[in-house]
Amino acid sequence: MRFFLTLFYFLLFYTSQAQQYRQYDTIADPTIALQKLQNALSNDAANPELYTLIAKKKIELQEYESGISFCNKSIELLTKDKNNKQLITALYLKGRAQYLLDDKAKAEENWKQGLQLALQEKDYNGTISIATGLGAIYLDQGYLKNNTANFKAADSVFSIAYQEILRNDSLVTNNGLRTLRLMATSLHFQKKYDSANFYYKKVIELSRGKFATPYLGALSFYAKSLSETGKHEQAIAAIKEAADYSTVNPVESQSKNHIMHVYAEVLYGAENYKEAYKFMDTSYKMLATYYAKVNAQAYSESESKFRNQLLQYQVQLEQQKNNRLYYLIAALVMLAALTGLWLYYRANKRIAAEKARQKQISIDAFIEGEEKEKARIGRELHDGIAQEIVGVKLAMMQSNTDPKMIDELTRISLDIRNISHELMPQTLKEYGLKVAIEDICQKILAPSGIQYEVHSTLPDERMANKIEITLYRIFQELLHNIIKHSHATEVLVQLRKMNNHIMLLVEDNGKGMTDEKKKGIGISNLKSRLQLLDGNLQYDSNDNEGTTAIVRVPI
């Protein structure tokens, strides 16, 4: 009887302790909660729940590396005790910290194990949290790689979470709406816009004023979907709603950055480039601030660990009568050297990234400005000079001028119109590179009596505007060179998408090129233009054996 009473009091004591620890989790300030939990750990160092709760608070404070360390200790203890319920929570938290550190491969590994246990234990919260996180990883992979298998994997785990939500009648919860939003995003990335928009609107309606995370996520992705389908005014209204909310309400910095980034994309799609640049610049600044904060925290944790190690070394030195002083000095020197090298490498990497970003902005601005100027000249030719020539032609016809002069004026008018159309490539803007190249062949080669063939293996989706316009302008110049210099009768054009670049091949059966012409100003200008995009131009030509021009642009 005494044994059972002792066991009862032990269980009662342990239960009251666990309840006390969970009360710390409800403290609003995570810093205060963390301090209380760490104080408790000094008296209960073998309690896995304490390590899990501390890891949770560390992650809330964006101390991800430290959070993973406490998760590992909790998992080690829970694996020995075979407590699957708590183990699911620890695996979820560890995967979340790894996901936020962009180590998605390790996050996937932990979440797979956690989901298997959650389904086995019929743990509702664990199943929903882990399934949606795992689905988000597959969704990212599917979007980046355009891989159908990844989208199917994402939809599969979303379906698991969704069925659990419906079974528990908990759709209108933070987890429920988050799952529904991710399912909509999967449809969105697969270009099933109508279905995706239906679910986005449903999430927005159900979460407005209740759940900030799914509400803002649905608004921002809904805006992107509308923008991609040309509904620019609706897209701007949706993302503005998200931006207004984030301005007056506390929102995580990553969410704010995402909203600013989407705002820039939507404005860019609506051709409001000036405002788009402002929002994109704001997004980059917020992102830089966020990573600076994460780096500072990581450095602070490393410094704290280093100081603890130093104290341990000092204790050992006292105990061993300073026998290892030289080893300590050598270790400190090496650590300082490695730290210096790491800081130097990180600084250079940041500077290189910023230079690359500024270079890209300059290239985009240069190409955009050049195209705007060409469009302006084209409009002036088409709407100004061409119209004036038509007026002169009508006047000459009324005054019975020599028909040959009128015919010559007609030819000049057509030439001006053709030039204006080349300066304003509407076909490229509306239909893409493949159709634009076929169109320019019809307009330039066909009137010259040159036979041509165009073969393309480009996918249906459009490339970046700067790549399309550069290849289009290069191709224009190559055709003009063929007409002026080659005496060719046949031209073969090939467009291919390789692993990491676009290849444009233009082959003619003309008289070939001399080495002198290959080094001429015109060819140098083409190569300089391509170098802006890290592309290159190569010529393969022999006398009376034709010329092959090969253009490569990375994507």
According to DSSP, the β-strands at 451-456 and 490-497 are parallel
Q: Report the candidate in 545, 551, 538, 533 with the shortest Cα–Cα distance to residue 475.
A: 551
The answer to whether residue 151 scores a pLDDT higher than 60 is: yes
The answer to whether residue 224 scores a pLDDT higher than 60 is: yes
The per-residue pLDDT of the chain, averaged, comes to: 79
- Highest mean pLDDT: which range of 255-259, 297-301, 375-379, 474-478: 474-478
Average pLDDT over residues 389-395: 63
Average pLDDT over residues 254-280: 84
The answer to whether residue 145 scores a pLDDT higher than 50 is: yes
Higher pLDDT, 302 or 352: 352
pLDDT for res 317: 58
Does the predicted model carry a pTM greater than 0.85?
no
Q: How many CB atoms lie within 10 A of CB 424?
A: 19
Span 121-141, pLDDT tens digits: 888 888 888 988 888 888 888
pLDDT for res 93: 92
pLDDT for res 348: 83
Q: How many CB atoms lie within 10 A of CB 471?
A: 24
β-sheet with 501-508: strand ranges across? 451-456, 490-497, 501-508, 547-554, 536-541
pLDDT for res 254: 75
Q: How far apart are CA 132 and CA 127, in angstroms?
A: 8
Q: Per-residue confidence at 321, pLDDT binned at 50, 70, 90?
A: low
Domain with CATH 1.25.40.10 in the chain: 21-241
Q: How far apart are CA 130 and CA 275, in angstroms?
A: 38
Average pLDDT over residues 489-498: 91
Average pLDDT over residues 174-194: 88
Span 523-535, pLDDT tens digits: 777 887 888 888 8
Higher pLDDT, 41 or 215: 215
Q: Report the candidate in 493, 489, 491 with the shortest Cα–Cα distance to residue 508.
A: 491
Higher pLDDT, 237 or 429: 237
The answer to whether residue 487 scores a pLDDT higher than 50 is: yes
pLDDT for res 499: 82
Name the amino acid, one letter, at 16.
Answer: S
The answer to whether residue 479 scores a pLDDT higher than 80 is: yes
Out of 162-176, 244-258, 273-287, pick the least confident. Answer: 273-287
114 and 95 in contact (C-beta within 8 Å)?
A: yes
Q: Per-residue confidence at 330, pLDDT binned at 50, 70, 90?
A: confident
pLDDT for res 446: 84
pLDDT for res 365: 60
Q: What percent of the chain has pLDDT over 90?
A: 12
Q: How far apart are CA 24 and CA 4, in angstroms?
A: 31
Tokens 């030819």 belong to residue: 411
pLDDT for res 290: 61
Average pLDDT over residues 474-488: 87
Domain 21-241, CATH class in plain words: mainly alpha
Tokens at 362, concatenated: 């300059």
pLDDT for res 371: 61
482 contact partners, CB below 8 Å, separation of at least 6 = 445, 450, 488, 491, 506, 508, 510, 547
The domain defined by 430-554 folds into Heat Shock Protein 90 (3.30.565)
pLDDT for res 7: 33
The answer to whether residue 62 scores a pLDDT higher than 70 is: yes
The answer to whether residue 332 scores a pLDDT higher than 50 is: yes
How does DSSP classify residue 424? S
Higher pLDDT, 152 or 521: 152
- Highest mean pLDDT: which range of 203-207, 297-301, 334-338: 203-207
Q: How far apart are CA 300 and CA 306, in angstroms?
A: 10
Q: How many CB atoms lie within 10 A of CB 394?
A: 11
228 contact partners, CB below 8 Å, separation of at least 6 = 193, 269
The answer to whether residue 13 scores a pLDDT higher than 50 is: no
Tokens 């795992």 belong to residue: 134
Out of 57-66, 295-304, 341-350, 387-396, pick the least confident. Answer: 295-304
Q: How many CB atoms lie within 10 A of CB 264?
A: 23
**CA geometry: angle at 110 spanning 179 and 57, to 5°?**
75
Name the amino acid, one letter, at 488.
Answer: A
135 and 181 in contact (C-beta within 8 Å)?
A: no
445 and 415 in contact (C-beta within 8 Å)?
A: no
Helix (H) or strand (E) holding 375: helix 325-380
pLDDT for res 291: 57
181 contact partners, CB below 8 Å, separation of at least 6 = 199, 200, 203, 214, 217, 218, 221
- Highest mean pLDDT: which range of 10-19, 153-162, 285-294: 153-162
Q: Per-residue confidence at 9, pLDDT binned at 50, 70, 90?
A: very low
535 and 482 in contact (C-beta within 8 Å)?
A: no
Domain with CATH 3.30.565.10 in the chain: 430-554
pLDDT for res 16: 42
Average pLDDT over residues 196-213: 90
The answer to whether residue 493 scores a pLDDT higher than 90 is: yes
Average pLDDT over residues 533-548: 85
